[in-house]
Structure formats: C-alpha cells, structure tokens
Structure 1
Amino acid sequence: MKVRNTIRGATVTAATLATLTAASAVVCAVPLLGAPPQPVPALDLGRYLGTWNQLAAVPQFFSLSCARDTQARYDLDPAGNVTVDNTCTTWAGTPNHISGTATVTDPVTDAQLHVSFPGVPTQDQLEGPTNYIVTALDSDYSWAVVTDPARLSGFVLSRAAELSATQWDRIRSAITAAGMDPCVYLTSPTTGGIETIEPVCGLRPAT
C-alpha cells in the first residue's frame, strides 16, 4: 500500500501509523472490566437510521486502512434487520467500504445489537451475542457513543462533521460513565471537521 505524506491536512507519517498500530494492540489486550456498559434506556431505531460520521474511535486493526471521512449508514432491510454500510477514504486516497447486517439483541431498549460482516472472521454470523452497545445518545440524535460488552471497541458518531466544545465535553463524560478512558479514543479526520489525529481526552475544539 502506498502512503501519501499528507491527505487534506491530516499528516501521515510512519510514526503515526506505528502509534495507531500500537494503540490498537494495547486496546485489544484490555480485559473485560466488571459488568458490561449499560445501554441507553431506549433507542428509537427509526431515528437512529441514516448516515453517521465517525469523529473518533478506539483504534482497531480492521480500520487502520481508513485515513479519513469514515461513515456508517444504517437502513432497514425487508426482514426488519439493519443494513450496515461502512465507508472511508484510505491513506492512498481511494474509497473503501464494507457491508453487513445488524440485529437487535435487546428488545427492551433496542440499544444493543449484533453486527455481522460476511467473510470477516468471528463476525460472519447473522445471529450472535451483542457486540454493539449504544451507551450514550444526545436527545436530538445528533451524536452517539458506541462500544461493546468488553469495551474493546469504541466509536463517537455524529450526524454533522464537527461538534462544539460543549458537545465534546458531554461525550468525554459519557465515555467515562461507560467505564472507558477518553484518552484511548483518537479523532478521525473528517472533511469539514477535525483534520488531526489526537486523543479525545485532550481535544479542545473551537467553541
């Protein structure tokens, strides 16, 4: 894979990639900390559908090829399950995508799901245990925080490309409330939003 020096303002160096890889390895080694994080009390699945921008995430091996503009689009299929279409721009500037299916595993809140991706080891079964928990959600569905029962993954999703300093403060509090450290979340460069890769714990966007 050919890596460019810069992609629309996001500096790309060997050190950056090494840091992301190391962070991913550390996160994957973290054991389950007590009980799984709690989902939001109720999720209106209809309002949750649509396109979300990934503004930050806990680094994962499967996402290292994504350099910027990572998005997830959720829709309903004829069977009533959620179709998942994840897209991003790679370090080479080319589009990348993967499609899957999400099924609700918690009919009480609708905020816990099992997401599967055909052909991906350990994630290729349509039915399975919960691996996607919406732990925080703004009242207007403008942003959400998602993790899994073992807290090995984490995503900050937003309808808009950028969030205010006040919104980021609330997100950091939500991450902490879920039993995680905001410092393990790194920002995802987004056109029209934050262009750098940095820990969410120290993020200070303009108000």
Structure 2
Amino acid sequence: MIAGGAVFAACALFAVGTAAAVPAGADVPAAGPAPVPELDLGRYVGTWYQSAAVPQYFNLVCARDTRAEYAALPNGDVSVHNSCTTWSGSANEIRGAARVQDARTHAQLRVAFPGVPTQESLDGPVNYIVTALGPDYSWALVTDPARISGFVLSRQPALTDQQWRDVVSAVRGAGEDPCLYLTSPTTGGRSDISPLCRL
C-alpha cells in the first residue's frame, strides 16, 4: 500500500504503509495513532494517488505520479501495486500484499513486499494505519504506529482547497506535524513540493 511503507526499485517507493525504525531518543507519543472507526475495504480498494507524504528513503527515486493500486484477493488479503515516475522519466514499481490485522476496524494492516528487508512477511506487526478518510472515500491519511511515515492519498490527481484543509486538520488530529508532509507532484494535480503547513 502506498502510504506508510513501500519501496520501489531497490527500496524506493511505497505509497502506502511501512514504518521505519524509530530513532533512539525520538519523541514519539505514548499512544499510537488511532485508526478510523471502520474501514470498508470494498470501497478502499482501487487506485489512489499520493498527494503528499513524509519523505522516506524508499521514495526518493520518485519524481512524480506516485500511486497505489489495491485489489481484493480471494483469501481476504489485498494485492498492492505501487508505481511512480523517476527523475529520469522511467517507470518504477513494486508489488506486494496487505493483510488486515484489526478485525474490529479493518483499518490497521500489515503490508509486505517480497525481497524488502523487514517487510517480507504478512505475519509481522501492523505498519499501515488508515487514520482519517474523506466521508466519500475521496482521500485518506495513512501512517504507522510510530508516526514515522505518513501519506495523503486521493482518488483524483488533485484535491480541492477544502479537502486540503481537511487533510491538514486530520494530520494534526493524528498527532503529526503537517510541516513534515510535502506535496507530491502529480500530473493533473499539484506540480510543486511544499509543506502542508504552508498551503
């Protein structure tokens, strides 16, 4: 999934849900971010555009058009296909799967990518939490238990001004700093890279 931890090309992109290790001495709130009360996976699967993200080593190769495609699998898991366009104009992608770890909300998942250290198995801990959703599933905020990663996903390449305000409010509500989130250039959407706190 895009948000929270993926890795593209040698670990370069993941538009949804993998956490990095917490640095020693990091000031992390005692309680992790709360998931949304209920996630309808049937509505959540499909294509998402990355509208903003907390920069991570695995997506530095991505210059624009980062997106995630999720599809329901027969066993109840979700297939994950993350892709982007690199700075050289080439395509970059990675495929994996996600598994719900929270039977009550369905909003806490484990995302895994074969060959990616610490992310090879679906049997590991939660690394993808949907913490906020637009009422019509038009946008989503995803992070991880330690709030190291963060992704703003959108069904359309562009968000409206009101949606951006809602996103910034959701980021703060999740206990995160909107200044750490940078907008992601997307064809048909924003072309700049700016902190959300300055929108």
Structure 2 length-normalised TM: 0.87
Q: Give the equivalent residue in structure 2 for 1:80.
A: 76
Cα distance change on mapping 1:187 and 1:106 into 2, 3 Å: same
Cα distance change on mapping 1:117 and 1:41 into 2, 3 Å: same
Q: Secondary structure at the match of 1:161?
A: coil
1:189 matched to 2:179? The reply is no
Q: Aligned ranges for residues 84-163 of structure 1 at < 5 Å? A: 84-163=80-159
Q: Give the equivalent residue in structure 2 for 1:198.
A: 194
Preserved contact between residue 31 and residue 150 of structure 1 (Cα < 8 Å): no
- Report the Cα offset of residue 78 of structure 1: 2.3
Q: Distance in 2 between matches of 1:104 and 1:190?
A: 29
- Report the Cα offset of residue 28 of structure 1: 9.7
Richer in helix (by share)? 1
Q: Distance in 2 between matches of 1:173 and 1:30?
A: 23
Work out which structure has the larger RCO, using CA pairs closer than 8 Å and 6 or more positions apart in sequence: 2
Q: Give the equivalent residue in structure 2 for 1:6.
A: none
- Report the Cα offset of residue 109 of structure 1: 0.2
Q: Secondary structure at the match of 1:47?
A: helix
Q: Distance in 2 between matches of 1:164 and 1:50?
A: 20
User: Structure 1 residue aligned with 2:37, among 25, 37, 41?
Assistant: 41
Preserved contact between residue 66 and residue 88 of structure 1 (Cα < 8 Å): yes
Q: Secondary structure at the match of 2:119?
A: coil
How many residues align structurally? 180
Q: Give the equivalent residue in structure 1 for 2:58.
A: 62
What percent identity do the matched residue pairs reach? 61
Preserved contact between residue 58 and residue 186 of structure 1 (Cα < 8 Å): yes
Q: Distance in 1 between matches of 2:88 and 2:161?
A: 31
Provide the aligned C-alpha RMSD in A: 1.9
Cα distance change on mapping 1:28 and 1:173 into 2, 3 Å: farther
* Deviating more after overlay: 37-46 vs 75-84: 75-84
User: Structure 2 residue aligned with 1:165, among 161, 164, 167?
Assistant: 161
Q: Secondary structure at the match of 1:53?
A: strand
Structure 1 length-normalised TM: 0.83
| Structure 1 unaligned regions, length at least 5 | 1-23
| Structure 2 unaligned regions, length at least 5 | 1-19
